Structure 1
Amino acid sequence: MTIKNAGVATLLAAALLMMGGCDQAEKAAQQMLSKTAESAKQAIDDTHKAAEQALNDVTGATPDDKEAPEQARKESSHTI
């Protein structure tokens, strides 16, 4: 009977170790996903800024000059 008890105890200990390893793997995966999401957000923000800058360069507007495109549209509609 003692060999059975030792086998059961070993099996339970192995199961607990595996569960602990799964928790650590889950935490590592969550951290990696969080870092990936932050990197993606930063890339989107950088792309948005670059697109705004390109649009401002084309229209001749400055980032603080939000009314310039509206004024340009009004002037172009008067010439039509």
Structure 2
Amino acid sequence: MLYLKSIGTPLVLLLALLTMSGCEQAEKSAQQMLNQAAQSAKQAIDQTNEAAQQALSEATGSEGDNAGKPESDDSAKEI
């Protein structure tokens, strides 16, 4: 019986270590999945914003890069 007690404690510690390392791996995997989901969501938001800006520009009749900027008057530059 003494033999089982002496091997039991290290075995329990080893199993606890393996369980903890498995949990760390699962946590890393979950974190990677969350980061990937966040990146996908950010891309979707950026694309939606870009499409909305383009639709707004088309609806107001202004050009995309010059939206909000006053048009230059070429006739004033002529001398």
Q: 1:66 deviation in Å? A: 2.2
Structure of greater relative contact order (alpha carbons < 8 Å, 6+ residues apart): 2
Q: Which runs of 4+ in 1 moved over 2 A?
A: none
CA distance in 1, matches of 2:28, 2:22: 10
Residue in structure 2 matched with residue 10 of structure 1 by the alignment: 11
CA distance in 1, matches of 2:68, 2:37: 37
Aligned identity (percent) is 50
Normalising to structure 2: TM-score of the pair?
Answer: 0.80
CA distance in 1, matches of 2:6, 2:60: 80
Q: 1:67 deviation in Å? A: 3.4
Whose helix proportion is higher, 1 or 2? 1
Unaligned residue ranges in structure 2 (runs of 5+): 72-79
Residue in structure 2 matched with residue 61 of structure 1 by the alignment: 62
Normalising to structure 1: TM-score of the pair?
Answer: 0.79
Unaligned residue ranges in structure 1 (runs of 5+): 72-80
1:43-78 residue CA offsets vs partner (Å, 9 max, x unmatched)? 00000001001101111111112236x78xxxxxxx
How many residues get paired? Answer: 70
